[in-house]
Amino acid sequence: MNEDAREASVAFAAPLIALTLGHVLSNAVRTLPAIAADRLGGDLGVTAGGLASLTGAYNLAFAAAQIPIGVALDRFGVRRTALGLLAITGIGAVLAALAGGAAGFLLAQIVLGLGCAGMLMCPITYAAKRLSPARFGLWSGLIQALGNCGMLLSASPLALLVEAADWRAGYLACAVLALIAVALVALLVRKDPPPGSTAGLGADARDVLRLAASPALRGVVVLGFASFAIVIGVRGLWGGPWLMEVKGLPRVEAGNILLLATCALVLGPALWGIADRRIGNRRALLAAGHLGAATFLCLTALGGPGGPFGTLPPAWDAATLLGFFLLISSQPLAFAATRAAVPAEQAGKALSGVNLSFFAGAAILQAASGPVVATAGLATGLLFLAAATAACTLGYLWLTR
């Protein structure tokens, strides 16, 4: 690589990494409740179902913010949008750490959802506006891979912090990470925003919904409805209780299993990006990944008490969850499919429209999983998420036939 190419590579990668740090933060705050669910519920005075509803508010706020974020990214640029969202996220983390009850924690989840709503869209849009659709597929996987390191933070590291202090310390650590991200984005991301849109804000907002409902993106929107819901349902809420309450593991050992399994969310997106580049059949890869993930989650649930195999040892959970996370890591290819369907100047709106489905589905399915778990147990809750993912994948295949 010559000197000019090396400088160009660094000039592209450095701001992209700074922006992706926001996605690291987003993943950490949304999955922290899974490893601290017992203490959170006790301190806030809520049941497991109540905690599912409280954390579901994060996803509702996240989904509600997608339209204005899509408009902001195309109208005002990535840098200003990212700095504003990071500041909101930092405030939300502090509010969570200071929450004295369910109402305070609910407010914190709403603020965190609003702030984190663009933490993936900022680096994704930055890359989409600068790369061809062919190169974007690989980079979208790399962005997800780096961003998913936030789930590694909320496994063993934050489990140790929660065990040594409490869950409030975990949120304060996330607030510090938000400050670091603000400094790096301000320093590394260029100040030149794209030309402002000449249309009104209302027209821009309608464009987000129009693009999401267009025939080119309809299938991806249906797939996305369950795609993130199953990840956050397992990693952000029910994974920790399954290992600690159903399988009887101590917190740190449960955190270690989640840490091992979550490594697949760091390695997997890059591997799927490489497969997309070499194989090229993105539709088949997305379907295989999601149906396979649903199958592995069913296997996890069937290895618990009352299952056909009896109560299987923790190694079963580690193996099936590892397979689940590795296969669901095909998810970033949905963003690559979105980018390929629209011109670069509409990338922010189109990606946010698809992301709206990702988080609307997460909010609805996570909230629905609470009553399922309360009525029929955690194993049935995992099976419910797997069934929803299989149904949405079949819908995707039908709409893109």
- Domain count across the chain: 1
Q: Does residue 285 lie in a domain region?
A: yes
Among 204, 391, 210, residue whose Cα is nearest residue 290: 391
Q: Write the DSSP assignment of 171-211 as a string of letters.
A: HHHHHHHHHHHHHHHHHHS-S-PPPPPSS-HHHHHHHHHHH
CA distance 216 to 148: 28
Cβ neighbourhood burial of 163 (10 Å; 0-12, 13-18, 19+): middle
Q: Does residue 219 lie in a domain region?
A: yes
Q: Which of 130-144, 208-222, 291-305 has the lowest mean pLDDT?
A: 130-144
Among 355, 221, 369, 224, residue whose Cα is nearest residue 297: 369
Encode pLDDT of 289-327 as tens digits: 999 999 999 999 999 888 887 788 989 999 999 999 999
Instruction: Say what the pTM is.
Output: 0.75
Mean pLDDT across the chain: 84
Q: Does residue 3 lie in a domain region?
A: no
Encode pLDDT of 334-385 as tens digits: 888 888 887 777 777 788 788 888 878 887 888 888 899 889 999 999 999 9
| Helix/strand/coil percentages in the chain, nearest 5 | 85, 0, 15
CA distance 141 to 268: 8
Kindly report the CATH number assigned to the domain that includes residue 173: 1.20.1250.20
Domain residue limits at 247: 8-189+201-399
Q: Does residue 263 lie in a domain region?
A: yes
Q: Does residue 255 lie in a domain region?
A: yes
Q: Does residue 70 lie in a domain region?
A: yes
Q: Does residue 242 lie in a domain region?
A: yes
* Structural tokens at position 213: 């409902």
Q: Does residue 301 lie in a domain region?
A: yes
